[in-house]
Amino acid sequence: AQSVTQPDIHITVSEGASLELRCNYSYGATPYLFWYVQSPGQGLQLLLKYFSGDTLVQGIKGFEAEFKRSQSSFNLRKPSVHWSDAAEYFCAVENQAGTALIFGKGTTLSVSS
Amino acid sequence: GAVVSQHPSWVICKSGTSVKIECRSLDFQATTMFWYRQFPKQSLMLMATSNEGSKATYEQGVEKDKFLINHASLTLSTLTVTSAHPEDSSFYICSARDPNADEQFFGPGTRLTVL
């Protein structure tokens, strides 16, 4: 069965520092992978997605993620974090039926000044 | 991106009553909508997949008689929590798939508290 693991429950990063959020997946075939951000009072917003092709994916708000099949990983990165990036981040994989998303437990990002 | 709304954003009800939550796609027609449940500091768990004009498909362990889902139009799906109990208190999130964008868009969620 497909699953997504986000090993880090909570991460604190200084403003202006770089960020990497980890995501590992379990999936038999080529996965469709997503990163979402959830802010209080707002719906989940798609940051980026990977379906195929270039394994380095660029997203919105300066985020990028790299798909590494050998490591079953899809880590999210940002070179310089802003205070407004503080939020909950979810990695997800599309299920085999291609109908719904399976989410990791999320990583809470705090940004210190 | 496309907009999905949910109403109400929060609701408090007494144990034993029923609560209806609406999910609307505001600027696109969604043939498929999804309902998720999120516990504090937990992941989103898919409850059911709702297709317009047909019965919802429920995930294993989700009581279909307790969580009634209706997808009567291409822009509206409703989730009714029947005979709610305190353990049903949670954050319920819907999403709608835009077939043109081939992407799911999420609503802001509904916080349900059952006293």
Q: What is the pLDDT of residues A41-87, one digit of tens each?
A: 777 899 999 988 899 999 999 999 999 999 999 999 999 999 999 99
A100–B107: do the CB atoms touch at under 8 Å?
Answer: no
For residue B31, give the chain A residue with the closest CA.
Answer: A99
Tens-digit pLDDT profile for residues B17-35? 999 999 999 999 988 999 9
Which residue bears the tokens 């109403």?
A: B7
In this structure, are residues B70 and B3 in contact, taking their beta carbons and an 8 Å threshold? no
Give the mean pLDDT of B86-95: 95
Give residue ranges of A with CB < 8 Å to any B CB. Answer: 4, 9, 36, 41-46, 49, 90, 99-106, 108
In this structure, are residues B46 and B36 in contact, taking their beta carbons and an 8 Å threshold? yes
Q: Which two tokens stand for residue B54?
A: 């047909």
Q: What is the pLDDT of residue B53?
A: 82
A101–B109: do the CB atoms touch at under 8 Å?
Answer: no
Q: What is the pLDDT of residue A55?
A: 92
A9–B41: do the CB atoms touch at under 8 Å?
Answer: yes
In this structure, are residues B114 and B66 in contact, taking their beta carbons and an 8 Å threshold? no
